[in-house]
Structure 1
C-alpha cells in the first residue's frame, strides 16, 4: 500500500518539479513569467499529438519542449525586446496557451494515448520496494532530478550562473560590466519554456496518458508558488514539489477509501496548501527577501 502511494506521489510531483525548476532560472535572471500554465498545457497537447501521430513518446517529448520554448519566445520578445508589462504578458500567455491547446486538442479527445516506458535496471528493478520506487521509473523522473542538480551547480558553481544571478540582482551593473542582459534573459526564458513544455508532456504521456482539455488544472500556478516556497533555491524545490504532490495524492486516496469529506474540498487541498504556504512566507519579510532577485519583474532598457 505504502509503495503504491509513494509511486503516485512521484508521478504527481514530477511535473511540478520540472516546471518550477525552469521558472526558478527565469526568475533568477530577473524575469517574472506568469505564463507557466500556458506553456505547460501547450507542451501537453503538442506532446500528445506528436506521440499519437508518430507512435513515439520520445518524439512527443521533444515536440513538447519545442512548443514550450516557442511560447516562451513569444513572451520573451514582448517583455524583453518590447518591454511590455511582465505580469500582464504572462497572464495573456496563459490565456493564449489554454485557447490554442483547446483548439489543437479537440481532435484528440477520447483517443487512447501512449504511456512513457519505464527504465528497467537489471538486478535493481526487481528489489522489493526499493526497485519499483527508485529503479523502475520513466526517464523524465530521472531527468527532473538531473535538472535540479544541473541548475544548482550552474547557478552557484559556474561563471554562467554568476552572470545569471548578477543580471537578476542588478541588471544595470551587469550591463556596465559588459554582459548582455537581453541575451541572458532570453536564454533563461527559453530554458524555462522548455522545462514547462517537458512538464506538460509528462502530464499527457505519463501522469494520465490521454488528452483532456485544461488537464494541467492550475499546476503551472503551483509551480510558480513553489519557486517562492523554495526561496529561489533549487534543492528546496524538490521538497516543495513532493509536498504538494503528496497533498494531491492525499485527495485521491481519501476519496478511494470513502472518507466522509466532500470531494470538492479534497480537490481544492493543493490550492489551499499553496495559499497557506504563501501567506506564511509573506509574513516573514526576511525570508521573503533573502534570496529574491532584486530586479525581479523590472524591465531593462540599456539606452535609458
Structure 2
C-alpha cells in the first residue's frame, strides 16, 4: 500500500494510474478508522481497479474548537489497519496546506436547502466545510466512484447534490450502516465511550427498530412522544433530536404520503459523546 503524504506525490501517483486506464474508487475519512470505514473499501474493491483512502481531519467542518481538539487521531494505527485489510492500494494523508493553500476557509455552497435541515440547524457552516474538503479531494484524487456511509445520511445527500451542481464526473455510492453486534452504529466518536456505555447505547438502534414498527400504524407526533419517553428513562443519555424526514428533501414531516420515502433520524448525547443514527422506514 502506497502512503502519499502530500499533494504532489498524490498527483504523480494518480497520473500514472490514469495512464494505465485504472478505474479508481475512493472513500475519504477523518481517521480513527473502524470496520465501518473498511466496509466502504469492501464495496469499492468490487467495482474498481484501484482503491484509495484519505485521512484528513478537516478543520472547517467543526463548529466547536473543543470537538476538533478532542477528535481521535492516530495516523500510524490507521495506516496499519488499512495495510492489514488488504482492501486499499493507497492512502493520501495531506497537510492542511495541501487542501487549503492560503487559509483554512470554506467555500459557500447552495445545496438546494439540504444544508438547512437537521444538522444544519445547529451547526451553521458545517456543510460548507464538508463540501469544500470533499470537492478539493475529488479534484485531487479524480475518482470514478466515491463511497460514503449512510450513517451520515445528510452528508451523503449533500455530497450527491454538490457533485450534481458542480458537474463532477463521479458516481456517489451510499453504503449501508455498519453496526456492532448489539446494533450500535459504528463511529469514530464511539471510541470515546467506555465499553459498558457502548452496550447501553444499543437502545438507540432498538428504538429505531420500534419506530419502523410504529410507522405502520401510529401518527408521527405520537411516535415522537414515545421516543422521547424512551430516552427520558435512560440515565446519562440526552435526546438531542428525533425526527422523521422525506429522504429526498430531508424536510421533517408530520404526515406520511404513500408515494414518498421516509427515514427516521436520531441524535443522542451519551456521556458527552454525540451519537447519530438513522433508519429507512419500510
Query: TM-score scaled by structure 1?
Result: 0.25
Between structures 1 and 2, the one with greater strand share: 2
Greater relative contact order (Cα < 8 A, sep 6+):
1
